[in-house]
Amino acid sequence: MVKNKVLLLGATGETGGDILNGLVEDGSFDVACLVRPSSASSAAVQELSTRGHNIVVVDLKGSFEKLVEAVRGYDTIISAIGAPDQTQQLELVDAAAAAGTKRFVPCAFMTVCPPGGIIGSRDDKESVYQRIWYHHLPYTIIDIGFWHQASVPRLASGRIDSKLIVARNEIYADGNVKSMLSDKRDIGRWVARIVQDERTINKKVFAHSEFLSQNDIVRIVEEKSGEKLELTHLSTTELKARREKAWADYVADPTSISKRLLRSIDDYNVSKYIRQDDTPENAKYLGYLDARELYPDVKTIGFAEFMDDFLADKIKRPYEGKHIGLMKPTQK
Amino acid sequence: MVKNKVLLLGATGETGGDILNGLVEDGSFDVACLVRPSSASSAAVQELSTRGHNIVVVDLKGSFEKLVEAVRGYDTIISAIGAPDQTQQLELVDAAAAAGTKRFVPCAFMTVCPPGGIIGSRDDKESVYQRIWYHHLPYTIIDIGFWHQASVPRLASGRIDSKLIVARNEIYADGNVKSMLSDKRDIGRWVARIVQDERTINKKVFAHSEFLSQNDIVRIVEEKSGEKLELTHLSTTELKARREKAWADYVADPTSISKRLLRSIDDYNVSKYIRQDDTPENAKYLGYLDARELYPDVKTIGFAEFMDDFLADKIKRPYEGKHIGLMKPTQK
């Protein structure tokens, strides 16, 4: 069987790693990893090579001819690049168009949200999508909601603190607005199905493991942990005001990673919990196909099942070993 | 029968007038006309009233509460506003969302083209579409290609000069690239069908009368007129360079209507004849539905039939009586 030749950017990152796992598990793909020179000699890239993946080292901002040559010959290019680096994809899109790539999967992999000043990085992604359309390049956009792995609140005992990445334990408005969640382990499985399906060419697709409110998550975590959560309640007005301030702080200091993150966190909070952007209904309104309808046989990992694994210490902490400035328990 | 209550903005303009005619001809609609205070007492508005349409006078940039009240109670709002005024729709979108409008049809009605720096007014429209998505407002976007009425070249005899609005008689590259055209008389018929169809809710739709190249048009006009056209040929490079210069001239003098028009004309020329954006294939790539597939019974007016009417003096010159600075025959 001739395998689908995939070139994956970001395989050493969180989403890229999840996608790589899903593609390998599926077995239909021959996956090479596109690596930027700055990380070519890293241990993580070495490990990709040891796992049998071709490593393609190329500078996205260097010679355009070299970039075109590097991406030529792959059926599918999948990009999973860090949130602040979205616009680094622009030249990759140009190169994919020049090389005649049959399907370009840009770095979406976020909650469903329209462009236009709601979530900052969504607008960065839009500029990449516009470049795709500029070239008439075949594409698939895949959004997946918010990670289970980034949705665990802090336990009062402190026993899971070392495994949390965001732990504000805040409930916005009445806590009953639902949004879409995915277990990171499901993402690659969805992507493997989506990128070998002709129905998804030139489409947006949303894929999610669960559709839960904050109160649903609290209930599951309290039940699984046996602990009563300590929660802070913020009104819609308070949350929107904090987002405004986070934006002002960021605009005043745009190279600050922590200010970018604080801005981004409240962009997501307002979009998910106030605006209700990240729902199946809104995704369909925005023209997305539903992966659950396309692949009804796919079994996903619900949040309760995930919490069992999490409390049994079977879940890898995202960004392990990296300081990303997000872990700040604000309780007590 | 309960009629679909439509509020139409721009009914005294070219596209809005075409839409009004189509809605009235269809018979399923009760059409009121939204009029800005600046034109409330014009003869054109008086004529709309005489034809039996309710006139709703409201300032788009005035009291938001008054605007919401003005648009409340209509099933459908259709906007056909002048090219330079696209962003005046933003508050109208906000008001439609507040009033619970069931379908908002923003002012698209242009050639098919993606956003992102290709056609300036397309990007203005995109900001309006983003505002629609911001509100989760039900919508339909309708694009129609370029008007037959704006595609007639100059005859060397000069006998049709007074009826032309653009008459450069230029052929770009080899002249064989096809793009979509609509007779203005077809636009309203398409719109009437599209806005009463549940299949088109939250969709983009393209509707066109013909799909022709510049050489096709030359052949038809020469055959119908019996005159040999005098043509100027521009290479891709020459056309792109002229567009670049037109943009630079416009940016240096952004309030100049003529510079805006010259920029806009070459935006369209490059998009249609070089980039090949305005094709059924590209429309489908961009997610549009095809009105010809949705309504196979609709009979459209082809360019040859249009030319018969044009040469028989049966076609109204667009923008009649208005000086828009476009008529500049460059031959001899």
CA count, 13 A, side-chain hemisphere, B86: 19
Q: ipTM of the predicted structure?
A: 0.94
Judged by CB atoms closer than 8 Å, whether chains meet at B136 and A282 is answered as yes
Domain B4-145+184-206 of CATH type 3.10.129.10:
no
The model's pLDDT over A140-167, given as tens digits with 9 standing for 90+, comes to 999 999 999 999 999 999 999 999 987 7
**Extended beta strands in chain B, E state:** 4-9, 29-35, 55-57, 76-79, 103-105, 140-143, 146-147, 170-172, 178-182, 203-206, 210-213, 232-234, 288-290
Pairing of strands A203-206, A288-290: parallel
pLDDT (0 to 100) of residue A166: 76
Architecture of domain A147-182+210-276+298-311: Alpha-Beta Complex (3.90)
Q: Which of B118, B134, B203 is facing A134, going by the closest CB pair?
A: B118
> Which chain B residues touch A if contact means CB-CB below 8 Å?
114-118, 127, 130-131, 133-134, 136, 138, 202-203, 282, 285-287
**What is the distance between the alpha carbons of residues A241 and A259, in angstroms, rounded to a whole number?**
15
Judged by CB atoms closer than 8 Å, whether chains meet at B287 and A115 is answered as no
pLDDT (0 to 100) of residue A152: 96
pLDDT tier, B321 (very low <50, low <70, confident <90, very high otherwise)? low
Kindly report the average pLDDT of chain B as a whole number: 95
pLDDT tier, B168 (very low <50, low <70, confident <90, very high otherwise)? confident
Cβ atoms of B104 and B137 closer than 8 Å: yes
Judged by CB atoms closer than 8 Å, whether chains meet at A134 and B127 is answered as no
- For residue A332, pLDDT over 90 is answered with no
- For residue A327, pLDDT over 70 is answered with no
pLDDT (0 to 100) of residue A168: 84
Architecture of domain A4-145+183-206: 3-Layer(aba) Sandwich (3.40)
**pLDDT (mean) for B134-150:** 98
- Catalytic status, residue B125: yes
- For residue B330, pLDDT over 70 is answered with no
Q: Is A65 exposed, middle or buried (0-12, 13-18, 19+ CB in 10 A)?
A: exposed
**What is the distance between the alpha carbons of residues A22 and A8, in angstroms, rounded to a whole number?**
12
Residue B42 distance to chain A (closest CA, Å): 37
- For residue A320, pLDDT over 90 is answered with no
Q: Residue B272 carries which DSSP code?
A: I
**What is the distance between the alpha carbons of residues B162 and B3, in angstroms, rounded to a whole number?**
41
Per domain, the residue ranges of chain A are 4-145+183-206, 147-182+210-276+298-311
Q: Of B61, B125, B240, B314, which one is the catalytic site residue?
A: B125
The model's pLDDT over A259-271, given as tens digits with 9 standing for 90+, comes to 999 999 999 999 9
- For residue B133, pLDDT over 50 is answered with yes
Q: Which residue of B has its CA nearest to A283?
A: B136
Contacts of A133 in chain B (CB under 8 A): 114-116, 285-286
> Which chain A residues touch B if contact means CB-CB below 8 Å?
114-118, 127, 130-131, 133-134, 136, 138, 202-203, 276, 282, 285-287
pLDDT tier, B30 (very low <50, low <70, confident <90, very high otherwise)? very high
Question: 3-state secondary structure string, chain A?
Answer: CCCEEEEEECCCCHHHHHHHHHHHHHCCEEEEEEECHHHCCCHHHHHHHHCCCCEEECCCCCCHHHHHHHHCCCCEEEECCCHHHHHHHHHHHHHHHHHCCCEEECCCCCCCCCCCCCCHHHHHHHHHHHHHHHCCCCEEEEECCEEHHHCCCCCCCCCCHHHCCCCCCEEECCCCCEEEEECHHHHHHHHHHHCCCHHHCCEEEECCCEEEEHHHHHHHHHHHHCCCCCCEEECHHHHHHHHHHHHHHHHHCCCCHHHHHHHHHHHHHHHHHHCCCCCHHHHHHCCEEEHHHHCCCCCCCCHHHHHHHHHCCCCCCCCCCCCCCCCCCCCC
CA count, 13 A, side-chain hemisphere, B180: 26
The model's pLDDT over A29-84, given as tens digits with 9 standing for 90+, comes to 999 999 999 889 999 999 999 999 999 999 999 999 999 999 999 999 999 998 88
The model's pLDDT over A160-199, given as tens digits with 9 standing for 90+, comes to 999 998 778 999 999 999 999 999 999 999 999 999 999 9
pLDDT (0 to 100) of residue B324: 52
CATH number of B147-182+210-276+300-311: 3.90.25
Residue B117 distance to chain A (closest CA, Å): 9
